[in-house]
Amino acid sequence: MKIDLHVHTRHYSGCSGIEADELLEHAAGVGLDGLALTEHGILWPEDKLAPLREKAAEIGLLLLAGQEITCLERGRRQDFLVFGMTVSLGSLESPLELIERVHGEGGVVVAAHPFKPSRLGAGYHGVGDDIVDLAIDAVELFHPDHDRQARAKVRAAAKILNIPMTGGSDSHALYSLGYCSTRFFNPIRTEDDLVREIRAGRMEPLNGLK
């Protein structure tokens, strides 16, 4: 199954221009089997998500819910994708606090674009080299803002931590949806399935729709 694990919509991420209904049709059109809504700091309310899941299922698409959480560690922004939670987490100061809370409730934490260059100049818009000190469950390898050097750093960190790698488009506009994705070797039907397969590492990151 080919799933884009990093997608934002205008409904709960003000920086995105994607309408949910358009998202579903486009995802199926570019060959995705599923996608995860990872809004900034918020989990889609189930009463809003359920009708979308039904629409997605009608066109053979799996719709999953996650969230992208920002931690401000020593004044630096660090982003993480979280799956398997039932409540919105907002933003937290410490990635250690985030990981402890998510693991305590049975979820998983994926470092989002850890080596994405910061728009403010030096450093990263992600966890950067501190990644090797965190008990994360996976790391995003393929991302539109990860160049060859960034991907080399991710591979090195994943080897040190012995964790799997993912791909996600971080899409805020339809044109980029599915540009990076993750292929799961076993069927995924629920968020619990997703959490299990990420923990087991039964997946591979994809760059482009291949």
More confident residue, 179 or 125: 179
pLDDT computed for residue 34 by the predictor? 97
pLDDT in tens, 149-163: 999 999 999 999 999
Q: Where are the extended beta strands (E) located within the chain?
A: 2-7, 34-40, 62-73, 76-83, 108-111, 138-142, 165-167, 180-184, 203-207
- Whole-model pTM: value is 0.93
pLDDT band, residue 51 (cuts 50/70/90): very high
Residue 66 maps to which CATH number?
3.20.20.140
pLDDT computed for residue 182 by the predictor? 98
Residues of the domain holding 130:
2-207
pLDDT (mean) for 154-182? 94
* CA separation for the pair 173, 178 (Å, rounded): 11
**Mean pLDDT for all residues in the chain:** 91
pLDDT computed for residue 123 by the predictor? 57
pLDDT in tens, 7-19: 998 887 868 778 8
* CA separation for the pair 148, 107 (Å, rounded): 30
Asked whether the predicted pLDDT for residue 32 surpasses 80, the reply is yes
Considering its fold, how many domains does the chain have in total?
Answer: 1
* CA separation for the pair 171, 26 (Å, rounded): 12
Q: Which amino acid is at 185?
A: F
pLDDT in tens, 91-137: 887 999 999 999 999 999 999 999 987 565 555 568 999 999 999 99
* CA separation for the pair 117, 143 (Å, rounded): 12
